[in-house]
Amino acid sequence: MNQPSSDDSPLSSLPRHVAIIMDGNGRWAKRRLLPRTAGHRAGVSAVRKTVERCAKLGVEVLTLFAFSSENWRRPSDEVGVLMRLFDRALAQEAQRLHDNGIRLRVIGDRSAFSSHLQKRIADTEALTCDNRRMTLLIAANYGGRWDITQAARQLAGRVERGEIAATEINEEMLASHLSFTGLPEPDLFIRTGGELRISNFLLWQLAYTELYFTDVLWPDFDERELDRAIAEYAKRERRFGHISEQLTGQSRHAVTSA
Ligand code: IPE
Ligand code: IPE
Ligand code: MG
């Protein structure tokens, strides 16, 4: 059972893992007659607020979708700005994350990044790897289809080497080869920016996640908006295939998918 920390939370049920598609930076900028990249810059401070609020509330894992495997299709100057912002945010925030007990991990195919950025990621992960207060997963050059494909490739390699038989492959084994394993699956998914789609985010892991969509554009997302999403989550009844009556007497959030 997850209880909110004694901190300041009036919330009755806290998600262990929150996963967010941070969308709407471009539109935020356009409304202000600014270049799209100004929206991405403004989005960084929403990231900071969200990370701090989640850590304060006692969320165990926060996953943020920063760059999808399809975002390379954007104009190259925008992609360049996004890469530089990612690099700078890691450089500026690494120590603060570490001081706050936050472990940072990047999920996605990092081989496409510059060697400089790959080193920055590895250094930040190494600095923070023993922290246990909260895990921050940044999905960068991430795609749900990529993730399932790379897991399938690893399994096929194991079969080829004679380590396992194809008939032994089950859901647990496949899940253990996805980009994060050993962490709870997302309880609450949030997408800002008003679009009602998953855009190739965590496809496997969202199977039983509660979905929450808001029109708020990412740079305007803050503690209040996060609390609103968590309050909405607390009202949901998670049944994992059971019927409502089977859940009587236990927390609506305590049932597992098992
Ligand atoms: C999300 O905002 C940031 C990234 C995808 C990197 P967008 O840039 O997609 O903003 P909109 O959707 O165009 O407003
Ligand atoms: C999803 O947003 C990816 C990230 C927020 C990183 P997009 O703006 O790329 O999604 P689509 O293209 O509107 O589906
Ligand atoms: Mg978008």
Give pLDDT tens digits for 149-178.
999 999 999 999 999 999 999 999 999 999
**Is the C-beta atom of 24 inside 6 A of ligand 1?**
yes
Nearest CA to ligand 1 atom 6: 67
Looking at all shown ligands, the one closest to residue 24's CA atom is 1
Distance CA(201)–CA(152), nearest Å, equals 17
Helix axes 115-128, 76-99, angle to 10 degrees: 20
Question: Please, which residues have CB less than 5 A from ligand 3, an ion?
Answer: 23
- The mean pLDDT value for 11-30 works out to 93
What local confidence, expressed as pLDDT, does residue 9 receive?
47
What confidence tens digit (pLDDT) does each residue in 29-79 have? 999 999 999 999 999 999 999 999 999 999 999 999 999 999 999 999 999
Nearest CA to ligand 2 atom 3: 68
Whether residue 8 is contained in a domain is answered as no
> Ligand 3 centre and the CA of 236: distance in Å?
27
Whether residue 125 is contained in a domain is answered as yes
**What ligand 2 atom has the least distance to the C-alpha of 26?**
8
Distance CA(1)–CA(13), nearest Å, equals 9
pLDDT classification of 190: cutoffs 50, 70, 90? very high
Distance CA(220)–CA(54), nearest Å, equals 17
> Ligand 1 centre and the CA of 247: distance in Å?
39
Distance CA(98)–CA(38), nearest Å, equals 27
> Ligand 2 centre and the CA of 249: distance in Å?
40
Least confident of 134-138, 201-205, 253-257: 253-257
Split into its structural domains, the chain has a count of 1
What local confidence, expressed as pLDDT, does residue 256 receive?
54
Q: Enumerate residues lining ligand 2, CB below 6 A.
A: 21-23, 65-68, 71, 195, 197, 199
Catalytic residues: 23, 71
What local confidence, expressed as pLDDT, does residue 249 receive?
58
What local confidence, expressed as pLDDT, does residue 10 receive?
46
Whether residue 67 is contained in a domain is answered as yes
Whether residue 195 is contained in a domain is answered as yes
What local confidence, expressed as pLDDT, does residue 255 receive?
55
Element (H, E) at 157: helix 144-160
The pick from 20, 22, 25 for probing ligand 1's pocket by mutation, whose C-beta has the most ligand atoms within 8 angstroms, reads: 25
Whether residue 2 is contained in a domain is answered as no
Of the chain, the end-to-end C-alpha distance in Å amounts to 15
What CATH number should be reported for the domain holding residue 126? 3.40.1180.10
What local confidence, expressed as pLDDT, does residue 252 receive?
58
> Ligand 3 centre and the CA of 53: distance in Å?
24
What confidence tens digit (pLDDT) does each residue in 200-230 have? 999 999 999 999 999 999 999 999 999 999 9
Looking at all shown ligands, the one closest to residue 79's CA atom is 1
Q: β-strand 188-191 against 102-107: which pairing, if any?
A: unpaired
Distance CA(204)–CA(185), nearest Å, equals 9
Whether residue 77 is contained in a domain is answered as yes
Which domain does 77 fall in, by range? 17-256
Whether residue 4 is contained in a domain is answered as no
Distance CA(48)–CA(54), nearest Å, equals 10
Nearest CA to ligand 2 atom 9: 71
> Ligand 3 centre and the CA of 23: distance in Å?
5
Q: How much is the mean pLDDT over the chain?
A: 93
Whether residue 38 is contained in a domain is answered as yes
